[in-house]
Amino acid sequence: MTFDKKKFQSPYSFLFGNINLRTKTLLIIALVGLILITIVINSLFINLDNITTNFAIKNSQPSFQHPFGTDWMGRDMLSRTMKGLGLSVTIGALASILSVVISIFLGLLSTLGKYFDYTVNGLTDLFLSIPHILLIMLISISLGGGITGIVVGVSLTHWTSLTRLLRAEIKQINTSTYVKISKNFGKTKWWIAKHHLLPLLLPQIVVGTIIVFPHAIMHEASVTFLGFGLSPHEPAIGVILAESMKYLSNGAWWLAFFPGLSLLIIVLLFDVIGDNVQRLLDPTQANE
């Protein structure tokens, strides 16, 4: 009996059968994306005013009526968790998009001359030398906290890796023959960037945006948990986890378990999308 490696190429083979890798990857991306969109849309329909307090059932264990249990004020933890996940995904989207915009700008700026290149490289090394959590807290506090503070803080600390990647890719593209021919024909740097650089950098930009997503979500939750992010009245996962610390010693394990597990699942779903998008954009694998 021989061992067929092709049957074990993907952990999702039991769901999608023997279809080709490109179709399988698109189905995985669509399925995971549908789950994430459903969570966000569901959170938009949850009104915080409808999450009423009921001290008669405070700190109740998970049940059919309250699958995630209730908190110290008798509020349904499932509704609070779903609302917090929607807020985390929204903040992650804003922060990742803004950080990618910064990365693209600095990557293209480094092509304008050696002094611009040295400046971008120096800024990258400077931000990489400072711990992300510390810098996010400082930026968030200086901007008064809240959603604006945490989005700006996360975005200003997550552009470094993608900028370094784009800078290296741009240097390699600029040495190509077609770029030299364009320069000989008198094309401007903006024209070269628009017609040669950006199209070739698009796969890295797309994958970079998706990869920044889970990092932004986790850092937002971490900073909020420490008390330097979103305000306590916001339905954020970090706020919920911080509140639960007061009641874990009393045996209310569900207050931290379900929100923490839900946040971990969201992060893993974004990792799945990132891995499959990278596989889809890889020309060596996309058409298998």
Place of tokens 């789950």: 35
Place of tokens 């804003």: 94
- Residue 165, burial from CB neighbour count under 10 angstroms (0-12, 13-18, 19+): middle
In three-state secondary structure terms, 236 is coil
Phi-psi region of 179 (alpha: psi -120 to 50; beta: other; left: phi over 0): alpha
CA angle 156, 191, 189 (to 5 degrees): 70
What is the per-residue pLDDT for 45? 83
**Spatial distance between the Cα atoms of 165 and 120, rounded to a whole number of angstroms:** 12
**Spatial distance between the Cα atoms of 101 and 270, rounded to a whole number of angstroms:** 19
Single-letter residue type at 200: L
* Joined tokens for residue 219: 């850092």
What is the per-residue pLDDT for 15? 53
What is the per-residue pLDDT for 3? 42
Domains along the sequence of the chain with CATH? 77-281 (1.10.3720.10)
What is the per-residue pLDDT for 282? 64
pLDDT in tens, the chain (288 residues): 444 444 445 555 545 555 666 777 778 778 888 888 888 888 888 877 667 788 888 888 888 888 898 888 888 888 889 888 888 888 888 888 899 899 888 888 887 778 888 888 888 888 888 888 888 888 888 888 788 888 898 888 888 888 888 888 888 887 888 888 888 877 777 787 777 778 888 888 888 888 888 888 888 888 888 888 787 777 788 888 888 888 888 888 988 899 999 888 888 888 888 777 777 776 555 455
Half-sphere exposure of 137 (CA within 13 A, CB side): 12
Length, in residues, of the chain? 288
Q: Are 254 and 62 in contact (CB under 8 A)?
A: yes
What is the per-residue pLDDT for 5? 43
Place of tokens 């394990």: 253
What is the per-residue pLDDT for 133? 85
What is the per-residue pLDDT for 19? 64
